[in-house]
Structure 1
């Protein structure tokens, strides 16, 4: 095996989900080059991933929104970059038309993808030469690992491994010795949000324990919500508008991360940060994070966690009640 192409195009959380698969491939085929196709809006995590040779990042989302010629030119350039190399195998672990077409454009004789019943767009199956084996009720992360191991015939390590190298910030962060807790309250869907009054209650408890709460945001509406929460949490900090890299650097510097089922909380887990993920509308079993003493998910689809549950989860990942010294 000389060169492998992995296709996972969006979104930020799915990029983090794919990291254990990259580790598996790198250790099963240490001499192979591994390329990754990801949308330009989500390509930072692939670029930070240890063991990825090339990241091919067409601005598919950008072109869909703008229909600008510059984005179309960038997509065509990405296709040329894709076709520069021949691949022993292409692994489409995304499973929609756009990812299947990317695989079809690649120079390869073997293109693996999910069976139609598991695809977001069933007819994408026509672009594959081989179909992944059934994966049962595996989690989002384990599903990718399982089907690729079965397809290529290598042994799967029971443990999930993550290896990232995030660029260092221009100046050191959090140099005052006060531990930071980042609260990722924003999410793409209204039904995935947790009530503001509960965020404030958790923020107040964290402040009482000696943390300084940091509130990130990505849009004017999210900034407004961060400001509402900050007014209820003593000494809370509404962070400035950040790039994905700048936010990732803040996550890497944090002592605790709490948030909904969203990309940066999955990134926090991948970075080994004490993390609590809150579920209200999606499946905790399928998308959640779990590692004893470090990461825990609470709530579930249709089951909204209350404040005591979140505080209990914080106690689990920080190792003690009260002082954050054990974080």
Structure 2
């Protein structure tokens, strides 16, 4: 196996959780060249993994929103770059039209995709001349690793290796290095994933009482207002200025703890081996959760958002360095307070 192409186009959390596939391939085929095709919005995160030789990116999301001629030209140039190499294996672990088109355009002997029943969009099946096996009965993230390993005939280490190496910044972010920072990722793209402001305030005050300084990131003006509302009820909380994903990653790196909703930046915190608690309200914890005993904990579930005692218990589990039961009982909440 001399050259392999990974196709995973979006989104932030999915891109982050695909990084262990690179490490798996690198161990199985040490001399292979590994390329990755993705949306330009997420290309830098892929470049943080030194196991990727070439990132092929195009501004697909940007063009869809703005229909800009320059973006269209960039997409055309990326197609030429994509077809400049011939691959021994193309693995589309996204399974929708846009990823299938990329897989089809790329030059390769075998183009692997999911079975029809496992595709995100059934019409994507046109692109493949080889298929992964049936989706394994496991979470989405391990499932990608199993699919690629079975298709290309190797085994992998169960402990995922994200291999995230942040580039140094040429300027200072003014991060308070003398404080124990806990980042609360309250913002999310979907309102159904949100957790009440009062709950964030209660968690923030509980953390402040234990010596943490709370940092509140945001992305939109609405989210900034929400961050300010939480800061108003959490003593000493810092509302961050608007930061890029790379700048946010440096804040994560400087933090002792990250608590947040099921969003890409919280997945990034887990990948960066920060102590992390992920809250679920509208998506499946079993399918999309994070888990590293004594370090990363998922709590809540689709249609069953966690209460404050559950989140406090999860924080205890993540920060004590040893796995503990996560309980939602009133008794547990009283104990943790």
Question: What is the TM-score normalised by the length of structure 2?
Answer: 0.93
Indicate the larger mover: 40-49 or 55-64. Answer: 40-49
Find the counterpart in structure 1 of residue 192 from structure 2: 191
Find the counterpart in structure 1 of residue 131 from structure 2: 131
Find the counterpart in structure 2 of residue 238 from structure 1: 239
CA distance in 2: counterparts of 1:302 and 1:138, whole angstroms: 20
1:20 matched to 2:14? The reply is: no
SS across alignment from 2:112: strand
Find the counterpart in structure 2 of residue 55 from structure 1: 55
Q: By how many angstroms is 1:174 displaced?
A: 3.5
Find the counterpart in structure 1 of residue 98 from structure 2: 98
CA offsets 1:301-321 (integer angstroms, 9 cap, x no match): 11111111111111111118x
Q: By how many angstroms is 1:229 displaced?
A: 0.7
Report if the CA contact (8 A) 2:183-2:257 is conserved: yes
CA offsets 1:204-226 (integer angstroms, 9 cap, x no match): 11111111100001111111111
- Flag structure 2 segments of 5+ consecutive residues without an equivalent: 322-337
Change (3 A) 1:31 1:205: same
1:171 matched to 2:172? The reply is: yes
1:263 matched to 2:260? The reply is: no
Find the counterpart in structure 2 of residue 306 from structure 1: 307
Find the counterpart in structure 2 of residue 31 from structure 1: 31
CA distance in 2: counterparts of 1:225 and 1:83, whole angstroms: 46
Report if the CA contact (8 A) 2:173-2:247 is conserved: no
CA distance in 1: counterparts of 2:117 and 2:190, whole angstroms: 25
Report if the CA contact (8 A) 2:181-2:212 is conserved: yes
Change (3 A) 1:289 1:43: same
Find the counterpart in structure 2 of residue 325 from structure 1: none
Instruction: Calculate the aligned-residue CA RMSD, in Å.
Output: 1.1
CA distance in 2: counterparts of 1:61 and 1:10, whole angstroms: 9
Report if the CA contact (8 A) 1:167-1:249 is conserved: no
1:162 matched to 2:169? The reply is: no
Q: By how many angstroms is 1:16 displaced?
A: 1.0
4+ long deviations beyond 3 Å: 172-176
Aligned length: 320
SS across alignment from 1:88: strand
Find the counterpart in structure 2 of residue 145 from structure 1: 145
CA offsets 1:221-256 (integer angstroms, 9 cap, x no match): 111111111111111111011111111111111110
1:206 matched to 2:187? The reply is: no
- Flag structure 1 segments of 5+ consecutive residues without an equivalent: 321-327
CA distance in 2: counterparts of 1:182 and 1:172, whole angstroms: 15
CA distance in 1: counterparts of 2:187 and 2:114, whole angstroms: 31
CA offsets 1:270-296 (integer angstroms, 9 cap, x no match): 010000000011110111111111000
CA distance in 2: counterparts of 1:137 and 1:218, whole angstroms: 35
Find the counterpart in structure 1 of residue 329 from structure 2: none
Report if the CA contact (8 A) 2:118-2:134 is conserved: no
SS across alignment from 1:5: strand
SS across alignment from 2:58: coil
CA distance in 2: counterparts of 1:152 and 1:281, whole angstroms: 34
Find the counterpart in structure 2 of residue 64 from structure 1: 64
Find the counterpart in structure 2 of residue 252 from structure 1: 253
1:226 matched to 2:196? The reply is: no
Question: What is the TM-score normalised by the length of structure 1?
Answer: 0.96
CA distance in 2: counterparts of 1:208 and 1:236, whole angstroms: 12
Report if the CA contact (8 A) 1:173-1:253 is conserved: no
CA distance in 1: counterparts of 2:317 and 2:197, whole angstroms: 23
